[in-house]
Amino acid sequence: MTGADLQLWGGAECTVNQVGDRTFDQLQLTGHDDRPGDLDRFADLGLRKLRVAILWERIEIAPGIFDWSAADTMMTRLQALGIQPVVGLVHHGAGPRWTDLTQPSFRDGLAAHAARVAARYPWVMDWTPVNEPLTTARFSCLYGLWRPHMKDETSFWTALLIQIEATIGAMKAIRAVTPGARLIQTEDFGRTYATAPCEAQATYENDRRLMTWDLLCGRVDETHTLHTHLAGLGLADRLRAILEEASPPDVVGLNHYVTSDRFLDHRLDRHPQQLHGGNGWIAYADTEAVRASADWTPGWSRDLRLLHDRYGLPVAITECHLGCDPAQQALWLNQCWRAAVEARWSGVAVEAVTVWALVGSVGWDRLLTEDHGRYEAGVFDAARPGVLETELGAAVRRLARGQTPLADHTSGWWERSDRLRLSPDAPLCLPQTLVA
C-alpha cells in the first residue's frame, strides 16, 4: 500500500496568537526563525511541498511599514530547493494590533496583504489565507482565550463570517495577480458525541463544524440548519452577501487530532471540575471522546469520505499531528497515510497528507496562553543539539521514497483500553447526531 499518487506535504507549526499584550510566535519559540538550514532538512526528507507562513502580523510591523526580509529569504530558498509552498497569511492570529477578528478592517486589511504577497511572489499557486477560521473564532471569541478575548455567540459568529469574507477578498486579490491560484481551505474537523440529554448541543456542534466550508461553498441559504440561528443574531445580511460572493475551495483541507472529537456528558459527577461547562440551559462535562468511549476510532477514513461526498471537491489532510512522543507520532502518521490510500482506492479524491509541526511546537499544552509551555518534538527535535531527526522522521522518509508505511504491529495509546477515564462498566450513550 504505497499510495504512489498520494502526495506527502509538510509544515512547521507557525501560529502567531495574541493574549493580552503578549504575542506567542511558534516560529520564534521553536527556533525555526533562527535556523535557515531547517528548509534544507525538510527537503532532505523528500518533501516537495510545504505549508509556509507569510503572516500579516509578521510582515506589516506598523501601519504601512513592511519587513519582507525573512519571507524573501525563505521563498528564495524554497525555489532553490524545488519546494512548492502553500502560503498562509493568518494562522490563528487576529491580524496586527490595530484590528481584530470582529472588525471590517481585518477583512479589508487581509485582502490588501494578500495582494502585496501575491505581487511579490506571483509564482505561488497554492494559498490558505486564513487557517482554521472556525477554530480561531472559537478560541478567540467564544472561549476568550486569544485576542480579542470575547465570550459570546454573536462575537464568535461575527469573527467567523469576517474571516470568511477576508478569505474571499484575499483570493480575489491573489487571482488578480495569479489567475490559476488555488484555495486550500483548512479546518479542524472534530466530531461531537453526547449522552442523550446533551444530544441537541451535539447536533448543533456537528452542524457548526462544517460552517467554514459550507459558507465558502455557498451552502448557507435559508434552508441551512444554522441559518435561522445566525439570522436571529442579526447576521442575515452578512450571510446573504457571502452567499452571493461564494468562493469554493479548490481543495478541502482536513485537520484532525486525537483530541478533536469531543464527548458531552450530563453526568457531571463522573468528570473533574475543570471539564464542567454548559450552554446556558443544560450543564455538561466536555471531554475527549477518545477518553470516554471504548468504541472510539480515528476518523480519517470516515471524514475524508464525508467531506468529499458533501462538497464534491478534492480533499487533503492538511495537518496530521499528534501531541505525543515521536514513536507514537509515527504510528499516528502511519494510520493516517493508510486511511488516505484506502480512501483513494475507494474513489475519494485525496490529494495529500501533510506532516505537521516538523520542528515541534511550544505551549499547546496550555493552549498558547501562558509562558513556559511544554516543547513537543516533531520530525525533528529542536531541543536537542543538532536538531536531530526523530522516529517520526524515519517514517516520513519511507513515505517520501514511496515505501510502505510502518507495519501495524504496535498500537497507539488511543487504541489501548487504559486510555479511558470512565470505568468500562458505565456504558455510554452515543446518539447518532452526526452530519452526513
Q: pLDDT digit string (tens) for 188-229?
A: 999 999 999 999 999 999 999 999 999 999 999 999 999 999
pLDDT at 427 over 80: no
How far is 106 from 103, CA to CA, in rounded Å?
6
The CA-based diameter of the chain, rounded to the nearest angstrom, is 62
Q: Domain 7-402, what architecture?
A: Alpha-Beta Barrel (3.20)
What pLDDT is recorded for position 426?
45
Mean pLDDT (whole number) for 235-256: 98
Mean pLDDT (whole number) for 121-137: 98
What pLDDT is recorded for position 410?
75
Mean pLDDT (whole number) for 392-397: 95
What pLDDT is recorded for position 433?
41
What pLDDT is recorded for position 394?
93
| Alpha helix positions (H), 149-295 | 153-177, 199-208, 211-216, 227-232, 236-244, 289-292
What pLDDT is recorded for position 404?
75
Write down the pTM of the prediction.
Answer: 0.95
pLDDT at 407 over 70: no
Say which DSSP state 172 is in: H
Three-state DSSP class for residue 415: helix
Strand partners of residue 225 = none
pLDDT at 1 over 50: no
Per the prediction, the chain carries an average pLDDT of 94
Q: Are 58 and 33 a contacting pair, CB within 8 Å? A: no
Confidence band (pLDDT; 50, 70, 90) for 372?
Answer: confident
Contacts of 38 (CB under 8 A, 6+ apart): 12, 32, 358, 359, 380, 387
Contacts of 108 (CB under 8 A, 6+ apart): 169
What pLDDT is recorded for position 3?
57
Mean pLDDT (whole number) for 378-382: 96
* Domains of the chain, residue spans: 7-402
How far is 229 from 419, CA to CA, in rounded Å?
37
pLDDT at 309 over 60: yes
What is the residue type of 27? L
pLDDT at 136 over 50: yes
Confidence band (pLDDT; 50, 70, 90) for 294?
Answer: confident
Mean pLDDT (whole number) for 161-188: 98
User: What percentage of the chain has pLDDT greater than the value 90?
Assistant: 91
The residue among 145, 85, 200 whose CA lies nearest residue 370 is 145
What pLDDT is recorded for position 436?
36
pLDDT at 430 over 80: no
How far is 293 from 277, CA to CA, in rounded Å?
19
pLDDT digits (tens, 9 = 90+) for 15-28: 999 999 999 999 99
What pLDDT is recorded for position 321?
96
pLDDT at 432 over 80: no
Between 4 and 90, whose confidence is greater?
A: 90
Q: Are 332 and 295 a contacting pair, CB within 8 Å? A: no
Between 289 and 405, whose confidence is greater?
A: 289
pLDDT at 358 over 90: yes
What pLDDT is recorded for position 364?
95
C-alpha cell at 143: 472561549
Is residue 369 packed enough to be buried (19+ CB in 10 Å), middle (13-18) or exposed (0-12)? Answer: middle
What pLDDT is recorded for position 293?
87
